[in-house]
């Protein structure tokens, strides 16, 4: 096992390094000075509490969503539907929080989160049931579910719940907002970083514990490795598939906490900005290890905010290019490490 962990660390570091080199090359090709770009990026991210806070803020939902997806991925369920699942969950979270706003923080927030979890989880169950009953690949069904869910949210939002001539719900009162990090650590002044970040870290630890240290987590991994053997070992594999999908999808709804209760106060259509897809990359980079996901989410948060920071020099889209390259390199470096290090 320890050799495997070492191999993982090697392949992740090599691919990050490789990505860096490719990025330098790309910058040179488009006629920019890589040093200038990188210095500006680092100065912005690490030079001020605001920049650093924004980076952590961007990483928060990636940690949360990445952990949810990791549970699915451990069961070998390639859930591409997080984008839809998390939007539905966040939407419901915002509605419930608003409806219960008179009940106070201690009731409204947990209730809203639980309702969001159930809705996201239930939507995750749809592809799970179709897979278990009819053997349809979850890749196809989850992609289709994204279209269905996002269109439905749009319909319900515009027709029933949105504040007139906007695409967002009613703002929840300040009483049920989550504290800004800057309230505790004034250094983060101005950034949107809030306590959801701490929640995300705790969630990653809990997910790690769940996957690697509980019987259920073992069963999920066992089904992921070899479903037939799991069945012959007496594991109710269908139940595990549904459970993994329910919990995994359910957890993605917690991204709403960061945006709604920690930042804007309402659900806004399109807030996720492909978060559900980026999180796939985050989980992949971390090999579905929740602790690793914290770090890969930080890297992606860094690229995300850093891209904004250097927007005057290079288009921020270059960061998407980098994100893509990271994934391609890790997938290929993995194979090399497997061949030359593990053998």
Residue 280 CA, distance from chain mean position: 7
Q: Least distance (Å) from other proteins to the CB of residue 228?
A: 5
Q: Which is nearer to other proteins, 224 or 292 (by Cβ)?
A: 224
Q: Please pick, from the candidates 38, 105, 161, 212, the single residue that binds other proteins as defined by CB under 8 A.
A: 212
Q: Which is nearer to other proteins, 166 or 214 (by Cβ)?
A: 214
207 binds other proteins (CB under 8 A): no
Residue 184 CA, distance from chain mean position: 25
Residue owning tokens 């770009």: 37
Q: Which is nearer to other proteins, 226 or 273 (by Cβ)?
A: 226
Cβ atoms of residues 28 and 34 within 8 Å: yes
Q: Least distance (Å) from other proteins to the CB of residue 287?
A: 13
Cβ atoms of residues 146 and 83 within 8 Å: yes
Cβ atoms of residues 78 and 215 within 8 Å: no
Identify which range of 128-136, 195-203, 211-219, 302-310 contacts other proteins by CB under 8 A: 211-219
312 binds other proteins (CB under 8 A): no
Q: Least distance (Å) from other proteins to the CB of residue 10?
A: 18
Nearest of 174, 173, 190 to residue 182 by alpha carbon: 190
| Phi, psi torsion values for 94, nearest 5 degrees | -65, -45
Q: Which is nearer to other proteins, 113 or 223 (by Cβ)?
A: 223
Number of residues in contact with other proteins, rule: CB under 8 A?
20
* Separation CA 325–CA 303 (nearest Å): 12
* Separation CA 266–CA 141 (nearest Å): 29
Site for other proteins in 272-301 (CB under 8 A): none
Q: Which is nearer to other proteins, 48 or 238 (by Cβ)?
A: 238
1 binds other proteins (CB under 8 A): yes
Cβ atoms of residues 100 and 210 within 8 Å: no
Q: Least distance (Å) from other proteins to the CB of residue 205?
A: 15
Q: Which is nearer to other proteins, 155 or 232 (by Cβ)?
A: 232
Site for other proteins in 73-102 (CB under 8 A): none
Site for other proteins in 2-61 (CB under 8 A): 2
Residue 76 CB contacts under 8 Å (≥ 6 apart), including other chains: 223, 224, 225, 227
Class of residue 87 by CB neighbours under 10 A (exposed 0-12, middle 13-18, buried 19+): buried
Task: Draw the binding track, 213-242, toward other proteins (x: CB under 8 A; -: no contact).
Answer: xxx--xx-xx--xx-xxxxxxxx-------
Cβ atoms of residues 179 and 194 within 8 Å: yes
Q: What three-state secondary structure class fits 194?
A: strand
Q: Which is nearer to other proteins, 171 or 231 (by Cβ)?
A: 231
Q: Which is nearer to other proteins, 149 or 223 (by Cβ)?
A: 223
H or E stretch at 123: helix 105-134
Contact residues for other proteins, defined by CB under 8 A:
1-2, 212-215, 218-219, 221-222, 225-226, 228-235
């Amino acid at each position: 096992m320890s050799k495997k962990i070492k191999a993982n660390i090697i392949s992740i570091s090599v691919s990050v390094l490789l990505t860096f080199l490719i990025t330098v090359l790309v910058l040179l090709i488009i006629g920019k000075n890589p040093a200038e770009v990188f210095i500006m990026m680092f100065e912005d991210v690490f030079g001020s509490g605001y920049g650093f806070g924004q980076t952590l803020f961007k990483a928060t939902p990636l940690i949360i969503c990445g952990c949810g997806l990791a549970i699915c991925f451990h069961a070998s369920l390639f859930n591409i539907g997080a984008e839809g699942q998390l939007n539905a969950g966040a939407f419901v979270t915002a509605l419930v929080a608003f409806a219960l706003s008179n009940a106070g923080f201690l009731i409204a927030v947990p209730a809203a989160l639980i309702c969001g979890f159930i809705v996201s989880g239930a939507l995750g169950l749809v592809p799970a049931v179709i897979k278990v009953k009819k053997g349809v690949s979850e890749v196809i069904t989850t992609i289709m579910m994204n279209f269905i869910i996002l269109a439905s949210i749009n319909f319900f939002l515009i027709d029933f719940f949105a504040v007139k001539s906007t695409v967002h719900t009613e703002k929840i009162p300040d009483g049920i907002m989550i504290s800004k990090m800057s309230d505790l650590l004034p250094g983060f002044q101005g950034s949107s970083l809030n306590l959801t970040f701490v929640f995300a870290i705790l969630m990653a630890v809990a997910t790690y514990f769940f996957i690697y240290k509980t019987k259920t987590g073992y069963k999920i991994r066992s089904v992921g490795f070899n479903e037939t053997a799991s069945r012959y070992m007496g594991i109710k594999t269908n139940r595990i598939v549904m459970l993994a999908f329910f919990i995994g999808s359910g957890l993605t709804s917690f991204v709403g906490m960061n945006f709604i209760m920690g930042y804007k106060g309402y659900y806004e259509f399109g807030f996720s900005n492909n978060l559900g897809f980026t999180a796939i990359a985050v989980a992949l980079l971390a090999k579905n290890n929740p602790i690793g996901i914290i770090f890969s989410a930080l890297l992606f948060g860094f690229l995300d905010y850093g891209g904004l920071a250097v927007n005057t020099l290079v288009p921020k889209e270059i960061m998407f290019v980098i994100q893509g390259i990271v994934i391609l390199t890790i997938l290929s470096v993995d194979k090399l490490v497997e061949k030359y290090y593990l053998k």
